[in-house]
Every structure is written in C-alpha cells, then in structure tokens.
C-alpha cells in the first residue's frame, strides 16, 4: 500500500477568505460616457489649478542683485586661498521700484555650484550633526582631520564649503539718513532639521566639549562660536549652517538667508526707494566660473514665485483634454460605422 506524504500543517495557509483567495471580486465595466467624463473632469481640474498657480506665482514681487562683478576686487582676492583670513567688503546700491508688501525674504543665489555630486553629498558625519559622537569623522573624506591631525568638527566637504558671505541691507530714508533693515536669522529651516536631524551634544560646558578639535579649513570661527548671542542658534543647530547642509539638486540654486522683521518703518513690508547691500565677501566663485546674487522676494500661499508646479498642472490638463477629445472622436466614428453596418 502506497504511503501518503506527510505535510507540515504549520505551513498551510489559514482557512480565511483572504489567504484562500476566495474574496468576492468585482470587475468594473465602465461605459464610454463614464470614461470620457472622468477624462474631461480630470483635464479641466488640472488646467484650472495650473492657471491659478501660474497667476499666484506671477503675483510675487522679486528683485535680484548680482554682485559677482561689482565686487571684482574682493573676488580676485578670494581666488588665492591663502587670503581667507583677510577681510574684504563691498557695497551695492540699488533701487526698489515698487513696494514689497507683507513678508519679505532674503536669499543668496549661487550659479554653477554643484552640490549634487555623489561624493560631496556623502562627505558628512551624521553622528556629529545629531550630537551623538562628535569625534566620528569616518565618512568625511577628504576633510576628516586638520594639518595637525586633530578631528575637524564639523567634518566633510559640505560643511567645509559653507556659504560665509555676510549680507546687510540698508534703506535710504532720505538723502542724508540711512537705516539698517531689521532682519531675522530664525525661522529659516524645516522643523525636522532644527529639532531632529541636527542636535548639539548634551554638556554643561559647551566650549570644553569641543576641546582638542579643529574648525573646518576656511571657517573664520569654530562651530561653538557661530552665534554667541543666541544659544538656541549656536553650534550644530545654527540655522545658516543647517540651511547649507541641505544640499541642492541643481547647480543654480538659492537658499534662505534672512527674513524681514516687520517693525517700525517696515511693518507693512519693504517700501519702494533706494537701498544698499553691504557685503563681507568671503565665498569664492570665480575660480569655477560661478556667480553670486542676493534675492529679495515675497511669497504666496503656494510658496515662492516658481512656475514649475503651475506649468506642470497646465500641461497635464491640456494633454488630458486633448486625449479626451481624441477618445470622443474615435468613439463617435466607431459608433457611426457600427450603425451603418447594421
């Protein structure tokens, strides 16, 4: 008598509708009118949203001041890396033709700077940045240790190349009076960056924690002196540092630098008139044929004045509507030929 194979009962699927594949099924049988309605509604919706987004983006006010060639003397000085500790300042007057109402944001914009290189992106220590192990420089090649073999904090190529120009905006109240425009250096980062991805080490003596370390090569100050006036903006949680560490996807990009403090003469925004930018020029760009600009801009309910999202919705809506009309034409032709055949 042939023996029946013994099966391992523990490997058998449970006797449920899901695991026995006996769930009830339903096949959609959509008519041509339903399909066409879905296409037309989707196309109309995308086109409407696209037009609204484009109009909103156009309503933003923006002015860009390129200071690469204006500060040519400083740019020439910075081409020699041995001059990194020499101060160089320049001033750029400009005219704001119309008032910028509401919240105004100041950005620095770089042209031709590639933050998207694979090795550049990897050259950082997340253990340092979250305050877990500030001596970990494992992934920071080639900026792991200084010339005297002490660990660099913060290490890595991203931190070493931080944008370090200092920009001050002034308003010419009249021909003889010039006042500084009040700017805030807080509220520049994502909440997750400020309170999750970047943390300072827990220590009662912040300065002694970094004893025995070196600052990045071209930094003017160590990490624990980035903002001595505000402990909540010092060290790894300095907002300028955090903004720079979030790498850009394209070689031309802008990053938030300051936002307008709406007080006194600037309670309603930036009034039209004559302004000037005072710049401490530190970040070299001419050696890789790059450029630098300062951008002042307002925002809308969807963010900045970029046209990409609006164009995407508009093109999607137009293509969907064209496809809808094509399907409708084919449907009517087939329907007519079927009637003629009968």
Tens digit of each residue's pLDDT (9 = 90 or more) over 63-102: 999 998 888 888 888 887 777 778 889 999 999 999 999 8
Residue 150 lies in a domain: yes
Closest CA to 161 of 311, 290, 328: 290
Q: pLDDT of 181-221, one tens digit each?
A: 999 999 999 999 999 999 999 887 888 888 889 999 888 88
- pLDDT for position 4: 56
- pLDDT for position 64: 94
- Report how far residue 27's alpha carbon sits from residue 281's, in angstroms, rounded to the nearest whole number: 67
Tell me, yes or no, whether 81 and 191 share the same domain: yes
- Would you say 155 and 144 are in contact if contact means Cβ atoms under 8 Å apart? yes
- pLDDT for position 78: 83
Tell me, yes or no, whether 202 and 252 share the same domain: yes
Tell me, yes or no, whether 48 and 98 share the same domain: no
- Would you say 153 and 134 are in contact if contact means Cβ atoms under 8 Å apart? yes
- pLDDT for position 166: 94
- Report how far residue 109's alpha carbon sits from residue 86's, in angstroms, rounded to the nearest whole number: 23
Give yes or no for residue 5 having a pLDDT over 80.
no
Tell me, yes or no, whether 47 and 112 share the same domain: no
Question: What domain count does the chain have?
Answer: 2
Give yes or no for residue 24 having a pLDDT over 80.
yes
Residue 178 lies in a domain: yes
Q: pLDDT of 276-318, one tens digit each?
A: 999 999 998 988 889 999 999 998 777 776 788 889 999 999 9
Q: pLDDT category, 175, cuts 50, 70, 90?
A: confident
Tell me, yes or no, whether 76 and 217 share the same domain: yes
Tell me, yes or no, whether 45 and 92 share the same domain: no
Q: pLDDT of 234-284, one tens digit each?
A: 999 999 999 999 999 999 999 999 999 999 889 999 999 999 999 999 998
**pTM summary value:** 0.81
- Report how far residue 281's alpha carbon sits from residue 163's, in angstroms, rounded to the nearest whole number: 10
Tell me, yes or no, whether 258 and 221 share the same domain: yes
- pLDDT for position 159: 95
Residue 71 lies in a domain: yes
The residue range of the domain holding 309 is: 36-60+303-329
What average pLDDT does this structure show over 5-12? 64
Q: pLDDT category, 170, cuts 50, 70, 90?
A: very high
Residue 12 lies in a domain: no
Angle (nearest 5°) at CA 304 between 158 and 91: 65
Tell me, yes or no, whether 230 and 286 share the same domain: yes
Average pLDDT score, the chain: 89
Residue 334 lies in a domain: no
Tell me, yes or no, whether 42 and 171 share the same domain: no
Joined tokens for residue 247: 């790498």
């Amino acid at each position: 008598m042939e023996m029946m194979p013994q099966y391992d009962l523990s490997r058998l699927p449970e006797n449920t509708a899901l695991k026995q594949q006996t769930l009830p099924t339903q096949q959609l049988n959509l008519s041509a009118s339903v399909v066409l309605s879905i296409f037309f509604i989707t196309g109309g919706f995308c086109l409407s949203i696209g037009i609204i987004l484009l109009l909103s983006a156009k309503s933003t006010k923006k002015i860009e001041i390129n200071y690469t060639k204006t500060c040519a003397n400083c740019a020439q000085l910075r081409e020699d890396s041995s001059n990194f500790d020499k101060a160089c300042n320049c001033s750029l007057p400009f005219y704001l033709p119309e008032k910028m109402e509401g919240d105004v944001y100041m950005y620095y914009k770089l042209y031709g700077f590639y933050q998207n290189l694979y090795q550049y992106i990897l050259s950082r220590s997340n253990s340092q940045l979250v305050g877990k192990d500030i001596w970990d420089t494992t992934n920071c090649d080639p900026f792991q240790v200084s010339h005297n073999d002490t660990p660099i904090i913060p290490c890595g190529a991203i931190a070493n190349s931080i944008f370090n120009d200092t920009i001050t905006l002034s308003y010419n109240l009249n021909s003889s009076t010039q006042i500084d425009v009040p700017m805030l250096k807080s509220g520049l980062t994502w909440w997750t960056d400020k309170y999750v991805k970047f943390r300072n080490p827990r220590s009662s003596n912040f300065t002694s924690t970094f004893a025995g370390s070196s600052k990045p090569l071209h930094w003017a100050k160590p990490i624990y002196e980035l903002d001595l006036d505000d402990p909540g903006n010092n060290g790894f949680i300095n907002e300028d540092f955090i903004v720079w560490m979030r790498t850009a996807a394209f070689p031309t990009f802008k990053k938030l630098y300051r936002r307008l403090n709406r007080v006194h003469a600037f309670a309603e925004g930036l009034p039209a008139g004559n302004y000037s930018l005072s710049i401490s020029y530190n970040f070299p760009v001419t050696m890789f044929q790059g450029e630098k600009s300062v951008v002042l801009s307002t925002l809308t309910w969807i963010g900045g004045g970029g046209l990409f999202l609006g164009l995407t919705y508009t093109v999607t809506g137009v293509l969907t509507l064209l496809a809808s009309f094509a399907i409708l034409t084919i449907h009517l032709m087939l329907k007519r030929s079927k009637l003629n055949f009968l």
